Amino acid sequence: MILALALAALGVAGLVRAHQRGGTPADQPTPTPSAGISSGLGGWIVYGSPSGAQTVNGGTNWIWAVDPERPGMLPRRLSTQYGEPLAWSSDGSKLLVRRSTPGTRLHEPTTSLYVLNADGTLTLVVSYPDPHPLFSGESLSPDGSKVVYDSHYHIFVVDASGGTPRRIGPPGLEGHDPAFSPDGSKIAYFRGGDSDNTLNVMNADGSGSHLVLRAGMMKNGSVGNLAWFPDGRRLLFAGRICPCGAPGKPPWIYAVNADGSGLTRLGKSLEPFFLSPDGSRIASVADFFQAGLVIVKVDGTHIQHFPNALSPGPWNPLPHEPSGTASASVPLGATHADWITYSIAALIALGLAVFWFRRKRTAIPAKETVE
């Protein structure tokens, strides 16, 4: 009986606690949307190689993740599938990767785009056999549903689940390095060749294309690595004076407002590079002759070297989560509030037990002696 009373009291306390935790939908903690291989990677940088032929320490060059807050930490293997990571969905659950398959006598080399899912599976987005590099400026929409890329200076959009690519933009458009805006409503891209590049923005469906900036300072040069700042108000890109790729001549990094105003030359960085989720840092290669990962501020200062990483890659957009810690939405044992609740329940149970004993003693009369 006492045990039943105690359990009942604990049950009532548990219901009260659950009601307190429930609250309104606005009070609910936001669960971590990513799962599986991508869980726990908030703020981490992923990298790999487009071709499985390259090896690391005698093994296949898989996809790896490194914590940018701890340069000396060994990388974490994210997938045994090879690929060059390109972009994350905004919930950190889907990763766009590029893969290249070497050609044979009978088949041309193939370049393909895949989506690496949180369960470790790969979804083929689009694939072309071609003896030359085919894709550039690949970008995944924030909701993970669309992929935009350019192929031979034509811009295409395709479902991230695969399908038939659809060419977008004005008739006759020759564009390159397309990039989805943070809200997925716009696509920024460059138009023209090396000697006459312009920065443009259009709607995600290809309509409403308009000029943002004439990159006149890049006359006889090249531009690339177009990216939006996380707030969607500015764009970042690299500009280089030819001869392109000349050793010792890294590109300058430029920032410009989305309306074309406020063009600013920042620090120098090598290509490719990826912008951090807060827009304050850039992940790039170490130099022209040596693979590696460096992280610098957008103004080119405060360089960090990561000896355990082979190449730059995109940051996971979720808030930084150090290795070994669980999501804030997953409780690890009883909290301070839990102990208060359980203590109150125990006191209630004790009070009920005392009340029951006292009532029993007064309710049962003493036995009379029968002579």
Asked whether 200 and 238 are in contact (CB, 8 A), the reply is no
Structure confidence by residue, pLDDT tens digits, 49-93: 766 554 444 445 789 998 988 877 888 888 888 889 999 999 999
- Total-model pTM: 0.73
Which single residue is written with the structure tokens 């010792």?
248
Asked whether 344 and 69 are in contact (CB, 8 A), the reply is no
CB contact set of 157 (below 8 Å; sequence gap of 6+) = 146, 147, 148, 165, 166, 168, 204, 206
The confidence score (pLDDT) of residue 292 equals 77
Q: Is there a cis peptide before residue 312, judged by omega within 30 degrees of 0?
A: no
Asked whether 251 and 269 are in contact (CB, 8 A), the reply is yes
Of residues 55 and 337, more confidence is placed in 55
Q: With bands split at pLDDT 50, 70 and 90, how would you rate the model's confidence at 288?
A: low
d(CA 9, CA 88): 48
Q: With bands split at pLDDT 50, 70 and 90, how would you rate the model's confidence at 258?
A: very high
CA-wise closest residue to 317 among 282, 275, 283: 275
Evaluate whether the domain defined by 36-306 bears CATH number 2.120.10.30.
yes
Of residues 60 and 167, more confidence is placed in 167
Is the pLDDT at 329 greater than 70, yes or no? no
CA angle at residue 23 from 18 to 24, to 5 degrees?
A: 145
The confidence score (pLDDT) of residue 219 equals 53
Most confident region among 19-28, 72-81, 152-161, 288-297 by mean pLDDT:
152-161
Domain boundaries along the sequence of the chain: 2-28+330-363, 36-306
d(CA 291, CA 294): 10
Of residues 47 and 241, more confidence is placed in 47
In one letter, which amino acid is 289? F
On the CB side of 10, how many CA atoms lie within 13 Å of its CA?
11
In the chain, the percentage of residues whose pLDDT exceeds 90 is 33
